[in-house]
A and B are shown apart, each in its own frame.
Chain A
Amino acid sequence: MAVALLGAITHQTLAAWAPARNRPDSFFGRFRAVPSASYANAIVVLYAVSALLGGILYLDFRVDIRPDLERAGHWPALGLFDLKEHFISIGVALLPAYWVCWRRPRTDEPARTRAALTAILAFIVWWSFLIGHVANNIRGFGS
């Protein structure tokens, strides 16, 4: 689910910031030639479900994994993980506005607003994916 979200938000972000002109003839051109607005519903659902599942898994992380990381002194990793929590919450709250910007755009609304909003969500998704993996794998480092 997280990988599907990563793919969708990355497609949409690139298409919003660097839309393909004419007929794309390269991989990168085709990658950003997607109809951005059509991704919005899927991204909202995938983000919300991923956040919900992450919130449930977080209970086990707090009990089973985090104490080990604290005892091992992995404070920077825990700090990065805390940032992930904060960013995800802010991202969830932005979903209704994000959906409105893409699915109910107003003619006088600058395209930069939805592009910036999409970039923020993309950053949060990538951050969460990468830091989540680091926190998950860190116990294996050096062992």
Chain B
Amino acid sequence: MTSSHAFRSFAFAYGTAFAVLYVVALKLDLALFTVYPSLGVVLLGTHHSRDVAGPSMAFLAPAMYWYGWTATAALGALVFGLVAAFLPERWAQRVWPGWLWVVPALAMIACVHLTLPWFRL
């Protein structure tokens, strides 16, 4: 196993896995942490304002989940990437390289689907 093969396998697996895991994190609202920028507070896990107070609190202390969703997907993809980096080269050669762009393209379409409710308000 050469280092260039390992990095290639890591990069391909990481990009593909991230796209899938990001959609999963978005759909299931799995943020590794929640950021409250107006308070300067970061809480581990996904927190919604109704967990602790009335929904109107969201205007006083808006929560941000994007960083948390990204971190969730990045962490999961890191595991997939590291596993792929240690797989034999002949296994990696069997994988169709087109998945590298097909999967992210499908993930972007899935993001559009999950964002559609904004356009129905």
Among A90-109, those with CB < 8 Å from B are 90, 92-101, 104, 106, 109
Q: Is residue B33 contacting chain A, with contact meaning CB distance below 8 A? A: no
- Chain A residues with CB below 8 A from B11, complex form: 96-97, 99-100
- Chain B residues with CB below 8 A from A55, complex form: 67
Interface string of A107-136 (1 = CB under 8 A from B): 001101100110010000000000000000
Q: Is the CB of A94 within 8 A of B115?
A: no
Q: Is the CB of B62 within 8 A of A66?
A: yes
Q: Is the CB of B115 within 8 A of A86?
A: yes
Task: Given the known inter-chain contacts A90-B22, A96-B11, A109-B97, please indicate yes or no for A67 contacting B59, CB distance below 8 A.
Answer: yes
The residue of chain A having its C-beta at the shortest distance from the C-beta of B67 within the complex is A55
Q: What separation, in Å, do the CA atoms of A85 and B69 have in the docked complex?
A: 11
Q: Is residue B26 contacting chain A, with contact meaning CB distance below 8 A? A: yes
Q: Separation in Å of the A77 CB from the closest CB of chain B?
A: 9
Among B16-41, those with CB < 8 Å from A are 16, 18-19, 22, 26, 35, 37-38
Q: What separation, in Å, do the CA atoms of A73 and B14 have in the docked complex?
A: 38
Question: Chain A contact residues (Cβ within 8 angstroms of B): what range?
Answer: 35 or more
Stretch at the interface among A13-21, A25-33, A34-42, A56-64: A56-64
Q: Is the CB of A59 within 8 A of B37?
A: yes
Q: A86-B108, A93-B15, A120-B104 given. 12 additional CB < 8 A pairs?
A: A59-B35, A62-B62, A79-B117, A93-B18, A93-B77, A94-B15, A95-B15, A104-B4, A116-B98, A116-B101, A120-B105, A120-B108
**Which positions in A face B, CB cutoff 8 Å?**
55, 58-60, 62-63, 66-67, 70, 73, 75-76, 78-79, 82-83, 85-87, 89-90, 92-101, 104, 106, 109-110, 112-113, 116-117, 120
A-B contact pairs, 16 of them (CB 8 A): A60-B37, A75-B121, A78-B118, A86-B22, A89-B18, A89-B69, A93-B77, A96-B7, A96-B10, A96-B15, A100-B7, A100-B8, A100-B11, A100-B12, A109-B97, A110-B98
Nearest 6 CB-CB pairs, A to B? A79-B118, A93-B18, A96-B11, A116-B101, A75-B121, A86-B111
**Which positions in B face A, CB cutoff 8 Å?**
4, 7-8, 10-12, 14-16, 18-19, 22, 26, 35, 37-38, 59, 62, 64, 66-67, 69-70, 73-74, 77, 97-98, 100-101, 104-105, 107-108, 111-112, 115-119, 121
